[in-house]
Structure 1
């Protein structure tokens, strides 16, 4: 086995380089994974180009799948040649939230690609607790999408969506497109997909959305209300992370409905008095959705995601729009940051 590898390393915001580095060593509780596919999260362009990571240089990338090549002396759950995906959050295991199985709410977590070296490389060292086996027949590219698939599932669970109810999904990038599919699997009566790009809305329609709304061409609140007899929808999932769609989501919710804020926002949300009055009078429930649940109990959303992906009920291939080599990463992130062309789920194939 070689001792050096290619890795995409961030040296400062906007300073992304493809370098040759040492293949990481592993301790007794870690696993060395040969990366077969790694995705670009919607948060990655902003982190790479503006926000930065917690230390430098840092190998980026946290959505990935690959093949186990080496395991630590105390690892028992996997072995070399296993096909795996990896949850990106590294829980401390000691805080109150970890002790109750809520790893996504860990007080002292670490994270691949921002706090420790990630997977936009040929190899990555990961903790055993984060490793999940890929079901037989599920390809590595789909395996690399498990994180956004699980995030979408978690958001709908937070929204308490029930069979026979209507849902509006605001923002149909990859997570939104997976949310459309989950809503169909979960028995939604009517699915509204809202975005500002026709290309994304067409994919949403093909994946199960009943109504697609381009918010540049029509008022999404008026459109949802018109199609629901003025009542609104029982569940709204906001994934765009825009203060515009956040406020719109509050206005299109039905009485006693739930609005889930899932998209990462970088702006203040100022709620107009009329919208606030609607929250009070309609008794709307507002809830956050952060990451996803991958602890063994009570519900492992990652295992559920893999189950439905393996059976073709949640499809990843229609969401993937681009595939690149690691060497192309600096130029690709410039293009992603400028937003001058259409991208959906972007994968790098080491």
Structure 2
């Protein structure tokens, strides 16, 4: 079967090509990709090339497929997996695959390391590596874009589970955020911050009593508040405050919201030293700072208050990605009504992947959602109305989004899949 895909040959060398996939083996699965959400990690991989730890050294001769936040349908299932999967099933992928024989393959991942599997393609071959680690996950919910966004949501879920706290007189670490505690999400209204807000509010087993979300861009804060409102959070038992920290003494403002006690759990969603130091300064006793945002610079550093580490038992963790259990929890949360549409600000076709990936840091907004069988320029949802004046497709998409609080939806996706031009 032929596939069309974006392949990486080296630093900033991405090519949209059509080529033949080999016949699947008995321990492989042929799959149709429907949607892929472009991640900043793909930008890092594309710009770093073989300097990236997940990119093989021989990509110039054996290019890899990029994209790792994808969903679609299974087309043909190899004999060894027919007991578990069947053609026609919808799926999501956990790209952080692991091997049973130690850390040999920890860094290998779909979208970084393989010739025939990656999200920015029309058809892919799901290899044994993914299948034996249970990283192919069936998705039974509506639409496809939620399954594409299960991976970024799993990263947020993993971060929440990775935070820890201590018990005086004990060396036991109690994993998880503090139930009923005070939480701050700094630089928290980008795509991943929005996913975190959504998850924290929707979660049923534990949640903070106070959630403060910061940014220095009031328009972004206002958009977040319109999607995940303080009123909605209050109905779930959480006091949600959106705070602009662009003014003087943001630390005093943040600590003031806790009557000076500080926060149990602080998440930093931007690789900015000043934001990390701000997070450190607002930690309460036994507070945990989670550095979530991955920096591109291997020399990146920031100052921490080690007096507080010693006497106030403050501590820091860092998380990168989620595990399989986190992915399963993502998909379960979708079944309970969590809709990740608030993350999506742009849609496009496979034709838009190269320019979008290489220019991703300069494109404002949230997630850029790609429909890989379609030929659509990358377009912000906010631009649908204007484009709709000359293009009936965008006119209808604008109408649908307007009825859904200016958000993407399964209805909009269904219309696009039925009416947009094929690639």
| TM-score bracket relative to the smaller structure | 0.7 to 0.9
**Matched residue, 2:347:** 323
**Matched residue, 1:115:** 113
* Alpha-carbon distance in structure 2 between the residues aligned to 1:285 and 1:169: 16
- Structure showing greater radius of gyration is 2
Contact 1:213–1:220 (CA<8 Å) still a contact in 2? no
Shift of 1:47: 2.1
> Bigger CA drift: 56-65 or 276-285?
276-285
Over the aligned positions, Cα root-mean-square deviation in angstroms equals: 2.0
**Matched residue, 1:308:** 333
Contact 2:95–2:135 (CA<8 Å) still a contact in 1? yes
**Matched residue, 2:186:** 170
**Matched residue, 2:143:** 139
Contact 1:180–1:208 (CA<8 Å) still a contact in 2? no
Query: Which one has more relative contact order, counting CA pairs under 8 Å at least 6 apart?
Result: 1
Greater than 4 Å deviation, 4+ residue runs: none
**Matched residue, 1:91:** 98
> Bigger CA drift: 220-229 or 200-209?
200-209
Contact 2:38–2:357 (CA<8 Å) still a contact in 1? no
- Residue by residue over 1:116-147, the C-alpha shift from the partner in whole angstroms, topping out at 9 and shown as x without a partner, is 14121001222322111112x33201110001
**Matched residue, 1:291:** 321
* Alpha-carbon distance in structure 1 between the residues aligned to 2:370 and 2:218: 25
Contact 1:193–1:204 (CA<8 Å) still a contact in 2? no
- Residue by residue over 1:156-196, the C-alpha shift from the partner in whole angstroms, topping out at 9 and shown as x without a partner, is 11122133111111233222211112222232211111233
C-alpha spacing 1:107/1:284, structure 2 compared with 1 (3 Å): farther
Q: Could you state the TM-score of these two structures normalised by the residue count of structure 2?
A: 0.72
Contact 1:5–1:22 (CA<8 Å) still a contact in 2? yes
TM alignment of 1:193-204, pairs within 5 A: 193-204=213-224
Contact 1:85–1:133 (CA<8 Å) still a contact in 2? yes
**Matched residue, 2:243:** 213
- SS of 2:155's partner is helix
Contact 1:236–1:259 (CA<8 Å) still a contact in 2? yes
- Residue by residue over 1:255-300, the C-alpha shift from the partner in whole angstroms, topping out at 9 and shown as x without a partner, is 111111222122421425xx22222221112222232121xxxxx2
Contact 1:203–1:318 (CA<8 Å) still a contact in 2? no
Q: Which of 296, 300, 310 is equivalent to 1:268?
A: 300
Contact 1:194–1:220 (CA<8 Å) still a contact in 2? no
- SS of 2:359's partner is helix
C-alpha spacing 1:256/1:124, structure 2 compared with 1 (3 Å): same
Q: Structure 2 stretches of 5 or more lacking a match? A: 164-175, 231-239, 373-423
- SS of 1:5's partner is strand
Q: Could you state the TM-score of these two structures normalised by the residue count of structure 1?
A: 0.87
Q: How many residues in Structure 1 have an aligned counterpart in Structure 2? A: 327
C-alpha spacing 1:292/1:120, structure 2 compared with 1 (3 Å): same
Q: Structure 1 stretches of 5 or more lacking a match? A: 96-105, 295-299
Shift of 1:208: 4.9
> Bigger CA drift: 199-208 or 114-123?
199-208
